[in-house]
């Protein structure tokens, strides 16, 4: 406080110039916020419009005739099933990712076992391999394991990620050794120490990983695209949406498509609004500080 | 004592490998072994449908066809590479600069509603790429929001365009203003380099590709901004206060203090951007399927199209490996440049 009043007097910036700068900043920031948010607002509104109205007035903010037609069409197209699949897959993937990444991250940072350095580098090194490069190898393996067109094909390959291991490892690195050593002296096994002492301490990292895994799985497109070739009952929300876009040709039923898009967006939006602190923390764990 | 330590070592080895087992099995089956498969299949003519064991070994044929043999497949590969390069060159600097700018503005001490701005800017980053692509497809229609806004701010001068159906290259459009078209172009521009004419190489991103570039920038800025914000918040306040006391203006503070301090983060963000833009896929799949006139065909989409639509899995594996080599090289070059500047 005192520092700020000192330097303004030193620099002798006229107060109206300072205020002008602040006002311009606000104007700019609100304009940019509008650019980021307005498309969503328009999409929500359009999902409640009738098709003729969308054709005539595609940018009008308020629907003239309010209709649930778009949503009804989506549910007739099995969007409920897709949402269920997305939810099921994201949940299983998230739980196992936390568990397996936690175990691996702990072993790699806290247990001095032969080969740990090599394993760590090998796993972290795979983060360098772009997803699109892994697409074809993944398909080859899933095909040989008969996992094409199955839930297991959607879930099992995603049950642990290099990113998850990296994130957990970074966090475990920061926990003081004394805490677990105390537990070990009391005779607890490695396994018990991990679950009862170390894991509870890693709560912030776990929350970040839960959010990232769930978000990643919920929004994932490329993987389900190659795993699901014929069985539409296994579609996830993004895959179903993309399929609709392809199937409808030139005459797109915008109210239905945007209804589907908003149904896909809504759960993530809610999670984000409630847990946004962790999203942001998670991003800062993910490499900047590493 | 010595046996005690040995005992401890053994227990640690068992515990360590035990803890690693689930992760190691999954990584072996779905990452490590597949990579060798992919390398092997890039030397075969596998179509992706017949049993993999029946694939015929063809040596370097796939790579030769892509790199050294004049024809449609080399033309497509370099077209995709060209589009991807324009995409990356347009998106990475733009999103990095805008994200840093936003981070600096949002980081101002006296600013209020900080968390609102941060939330608003970051929001698009968490949404499904497919849902967003659908949304932008809607906004990019001829009578859609984007054209209407452009018309409003140019006081009606803007001619509405069907963004995603427009194959005209940006540079071609600009050449056109100076009367330079394919017909009037000098002979050297008609020459063929790597199965594409020089004129084609110089097209710039097509309008449709720019549509996807804008979308991509729009969705990624938030993430990059949050990364920059984390770095900016690590800079002690006193550093800024001291420089302001010394009479530095905003521009000097930005270039002399902020920028050098966030240089490692800048490297990180540019690397993320490069890796991301070199594998654009989802948006292309939903919005344009590589069209119009293959101007949104990206390398990632070419991999998918060859492997899964055209049943040329061997060729697709070869393209994927080349893409990996390109991304890897770019990252190294970029690291060299950033470190070089540090002195």
Q: What is the mean pLDDT of chain A?
A: 86
Least confident range from A37-46, A70-79, A280-289, B324-333: namely A280-289
**What's the confidence (pLDDT) of residue A1?**
38
Nearest to A103 among B13, B19, B323 (CB): B19
Collect all residues of chain A within an 8 Å Cβ-Cβ radius of residue B119. 272-273, 276
Position with higher pLDDT, B58 vs A9:
B58
**What's the confidence (pLDDT) of residue A56?**
87
Q: How far does the CA of residue A146 sit from the closest CA of chain B (Å)?
A: 11
C-alpha span between A264 and A267 (Å, rounded): 7
Collect all residues of chain B within an 8 Å Cβ-Cβ radius of residue A279. 122, 126
With CB atoms and an 8 Å threshold, state whether B27 touches A254.
Answer: no
Asked whether the whole model's pTM tops 0.80, one would answer yes
pLDDT in tens, A87-116: 999 999 999 999 999 999 999 988 888 888
With CB atoms and an 8 Å threshold, state whether B286 touches A242.
Answer: yes
ipTM of the complex: 0.89
Tokens 């094409």 sit on residue: A148
Under the banding of pLDDT at 50, 70 and 90, the label for residue A194 is confident
Under the banding of pLDDT at 50, 70 and 90, the label for residue A8 is very low
Position with higher pLDDT, A84 vs B114:
A84
**What's the confidence (pLDDT) of residue A186?**
78
**What's the confidence (pLDDT) of residue B40?**
92
Collect all residues of chain B within an 8 Å Cβ-Cβ radius of residue A102. none
- Which of B14, B30, B331 has the most A C-beta neighbours within 10 Å, making it the best mutation to test the interface with A? B30
Collect all residues of chain B within an 8 Å Cβ-Cβ radius of residue A145. 29
Bridge partners (DSSP) of residue B196 are B193
pLDDT in tens, A126-140: 888 888 888 888 998
Which residue of A lies nearest to B148 if distances are taken between CA atoms? A59
CB pairs under 8 A between A and B: 281
Residues of chain B scoring pLDDT < 70: 1-5, 340-343
pLDDT in tens, A210-227: 988 999 999 999 999 999
Collect all residues of chain B within an 8 Å Cβ-Cβ radius of residue A222. 281-282
Least confident range from A99-113, A157-171, A192-206, B54-68: namely A192-206
Bridge partners (DSSP) of residue B44 are B57
Nearest to A261 among B20, B134, B264 (CB): B134
Q: How far does the CA of residue B195 sit from the closest CA of chain A (Å)?
A: 24
**What's the confidence (pLDDT) of residue A5?**
43
With CB atoms and an 8 Å threshold, state whether B15 touches A190.
Answer: yes
Collect all residues of chain B within an 8 Å Cβ-Cβ radius of residue A138. 30, 34
Residue percentage of chain B with pLDDT more than 70? 97
With CB atoms and an 8 Å threshold, state whether A130 touches B324.
Answer: yes
Q: What is the 3-state secondary structure (H, E, C) of chain B?
A: CHHHHHHHHHHHHHHHHHHHHHHHHHHHHHHHHHHHHHHHHCCECCCCCCCHHHCCECCCHHHHHHHCCCCHHHHHHHHHHHHHHHHHHHHHHHHHHHHHHHHHHHCCCCCCCHHHHHHHHHHHHHCCHHHHHHHHHHHCCCCCHHHHHHHHHCCCCCCCCCHHHCCCEHHHHHHHHCCCCCCCCCHHHHCEECCEEHHHHCCCCEHHHHHHHHHHHHHHHHHHHHHHHHHHHCCCHHHHHHHHHCCCCHHHHHHHHHHHHCHHHHHHHHHHHHHHHCCCCHHHHHHCCCCCCCCCCCHHHHHHHHHHHCCCHHHHHHHHHHHHHHHHHHHHHHHHHHHHHHC
Q: Is A65 helix (H, G, I), strand (E, B) or coil?
A: coil
């Amino acid at each position: 406080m005192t520092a700020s009043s000192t330097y303004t007097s030193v620099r002798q910036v006229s107060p109206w110039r300072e205020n002008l700068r602040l006002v311009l900043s606000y104007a700019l920031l609100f304009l940019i916020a509008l650019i980021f948010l307005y498309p969503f607002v328009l999409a929500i509104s359009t999902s409640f419009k009738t098709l003729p109205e969308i054709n005539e007035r595609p940018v009008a903010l308020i629907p003239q005739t309010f209709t649930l037609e778009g949503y009804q069409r989506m549910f007739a197209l099995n969007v409920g099933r897709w949402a269920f699949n997305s939810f099921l897959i994201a949940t299983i993937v998230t739980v196992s990712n936390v568990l397996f990444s936690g175990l691996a991250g702990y072993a790699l940072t806290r247990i001095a076992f032969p080969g740990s350095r090599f394993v760590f580098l090998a796993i972290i090194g795979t983060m360098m391999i772009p997803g699109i490069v892994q697409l074809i190898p993944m398909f080859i393996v899933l095909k040989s394991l008969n996992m094409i067109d199955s839930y297991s094909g959607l879930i099992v390959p995603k049950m642990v990620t290099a990113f998850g291991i990296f994130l957990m490892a970074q966090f475990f690195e920061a926990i003081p050794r004394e805490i677990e050593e105390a537990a070990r002296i009391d005779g607890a096994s490695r396994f018990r120490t991990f679950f009862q002492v170390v894991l509870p301490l890693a709560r912030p990292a776990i929350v970040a990983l839960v959010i990232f895994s769930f978000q990643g799985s919920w929004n994932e497109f490329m993987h389900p695209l190659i795993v699901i070739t014929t069985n539409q009952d296994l579609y996830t929300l993004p895959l179903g949406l993309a399929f609709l876009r392809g199937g409808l040709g030139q005459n797109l039923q915008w109210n239905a498509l945007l209804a589907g898009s908003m149904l896909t967006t809504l759960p993530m939006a809610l999670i984000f609004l409630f847990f946004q602190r962790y999203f942001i923390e998670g991003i800062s764990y993910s490499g900047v500080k590493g | 004592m010595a046996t005690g330590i040995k005992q401890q070592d053994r227990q640690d080895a068992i515990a360590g490998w035990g803890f690693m087992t689930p992760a190691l099995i999954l990584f072996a089956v779905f990452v490590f072994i597949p990579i060798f498969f992919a390398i092997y299949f890039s030397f075969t003519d596998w179509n992706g449908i017949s049993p993999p064991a029946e694939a015929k070994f063809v040596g370097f044929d796939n790579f030769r066809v892509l790199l050294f043999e004049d024809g449609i497949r080399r033309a497509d590969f370099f077209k995709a590479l060209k589009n991807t390069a324009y995409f990356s060159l347009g998106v990475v600097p733009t999103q990095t600069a805008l994200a840093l700018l936003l981070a600096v503005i949002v980081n101002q001490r006296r600013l209020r509603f900080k968390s609102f701005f941060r939330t608003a800017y970051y929001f698009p980053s968490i949404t499904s790429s497919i849902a967003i692509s659908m949304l932008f497809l809607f906004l990019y229609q001829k009578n859609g929001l984007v054209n209407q806004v452009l018309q409003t701010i140019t006081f009606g001068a803007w001619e509405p365009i069907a963004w995603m159906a427009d194959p005209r290259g940006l540079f071609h459009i600009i050449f056109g203003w100076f009367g330079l078209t394919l017909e009037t172009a000098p002979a050297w521009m008609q020459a063929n380099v790597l199965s594409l004419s020089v004129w084609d190489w110089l097209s710039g991103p097509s309008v449709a590709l720019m549509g996807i570039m804008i979308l991509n920038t729009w969705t990624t800025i938030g993430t990059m901004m949050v990364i920059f914000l984390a770095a900016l918040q690590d800079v002690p306040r006193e550093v800024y206060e001291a420089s302001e006391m010394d009479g530095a203006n905003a521009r000097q503070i930005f270039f002399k203090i902020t920028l050098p301090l966030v240089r490692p983060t800048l490297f990180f963000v540019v690397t993320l951007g490069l890796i991301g833009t070199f594998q654009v896929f989802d948006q292309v799949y939903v919005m344009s399927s590589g069209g119009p006139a293959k101007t949104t065909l990206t390398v990632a989409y070419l991999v998918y199209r060859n492997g899964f639509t055209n049943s040329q899995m061997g060729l697709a594996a070869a393209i994927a490996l080349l893409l990996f080599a390109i991304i890897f090289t770019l990252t190294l070059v970029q690291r060299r440049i950033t470190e070089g500047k540090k002195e």
